[in-house]
Amino acid sequence: MAAFRSFITLTLCVLLGRQTFAKNDSPCERSKWNNGFNTFLKRHIRSGLPTTLDDKSEWMSYIRNNGGCDRPTQSFLHPKELDRVKAVCTSAGGSTYKENLCISRQPFTFVTVRSEPGTCGIRNVRQETKHLILACEVLENQCVPVHFEGNPENLKPSNNARGCQDPRTGGRAAGLRMTWLPLVSALLLLLLVYGF
């Protein structure tokens, strides 16, 4: 009986941990991180970007003054692209890639800066044109980007992939309910076995 009680306790801990720390299984599920969109904006869509790619000292100063010396690779999109970037998290602008990631239907031009971690020393600055891969989650009833994923292989959206789902057009609310099913089942089993 003690072994069974330990098994039930371990199962509950695993299920609770999965619910608390797991990232979403598909785009446009309710976010577990309330500041995700604001952090995305702060890291990737900033005003006042240097206007040249050649002046490493200007980029070093910019990154040092705006935070980010601890991140060896950073990508920046122009603020005028905000609406297009947000559209990647909709069926019109993006396709499902994997897990909670969407890939843009159209390429974007952005700046990627590589630096020495902790020093802000700039290794290189280059302009790239690629399809964006973004984690998209629901905050305040809108599916928005919360993470910029690198695209080193220059991937493009699959013609067969479904569009990213905006919750107003039938998002993944059912999938969100299903992730709680194992937890509820385990709790019911615990109540039946131990009569808590």
The answer to whether residue 182 scores a pLDDT higher than 80 is no
Question: Is the same domain home to 102 and 182?
Answer: no
Q: Name every residue whose Cβ is closer than 8 Å to that of residue 118 and which is 6 or more positions away in sequence.
A: 69, 70
Q: What is the spatial distance between Cα 49 and Cα 144, in angstroms, rounded to a whole number?
A: 23
Question: Is the same domain home to 152 and 189?
Answer: no
Domain containing residue 38: CATH number: 3.10.130.10
The alpha-carbon radius of gyration of the chain (Å, integer) is: 21
Summarised one tens digit per residue, pLDDT across range 6-48 is 444 444 344 444 443 456 888 999 998 889 999 999 999 999 9
Question: Is the same domain home to 138 and 176?
Answer: no
Question: Is the same domain home to 109 and 14?
Answer: no
Helices (H), 88-180: 173-179
Question: Is the same domain home to 7 and 32?
Answer: no
The answer to whether residue 82 scores a pLDDT higher than 60 is yes
185: confidence class by pLDDT, cuts 50, 70, 90: low
Question: Is the same domain home to 62 and 140?
Answer: yes
Structural contact between residues 3 and 185, judged by C-beta atoms closer than 8 angstroms: no
175-188 average pLDDT score: 44
Q: What is the pLDDT of residue 17?
A: 42
Question: Is the same domain home to 60 and 124?
Answer: yes
Summarised one tens digit per residue, pLDDT across range 102-144 is 999 999 999 999 999 878 899 999 999 999 999 999 999 999 9
Question: Is the same domain home to 57 and 102?
Answer: yes
Opening angle at CA 177, ends 174 and 178, nearest 5: 90
Domain enclosing residue 2, as ranges: 1-24+172-196
For the stretch 76-113, what's the b/e string if a residue is b when 16 or more beta carbons lie within 10 angstroms of its beta carbon? bbbeebeeebbbbbbbebbbbbeebbbbbbeebebbeb
Question: Is the same domain home to 63 and 2?
Answer: no
Question: Is the same domain home to 109 and 182?
Answer: no
Question: Is the same domain home to 139 and 183?
Answer: no
Q: How many domains does the chain have?
A: 2
Q: What is the pLDDT of residue 118?
A: 78
The answer to whether residue 168 scores a pLDDT higher than 60 is no
Environment class of residue 153 by beta-carbon count within 10 Å: exposed (0-12), middle (13-18) or buried (19+)? exposed
Query: Which residue reads 């947000």 in tokens?
Result: 86
Question: Is the same domain home to 183 and 107?
Answer: no
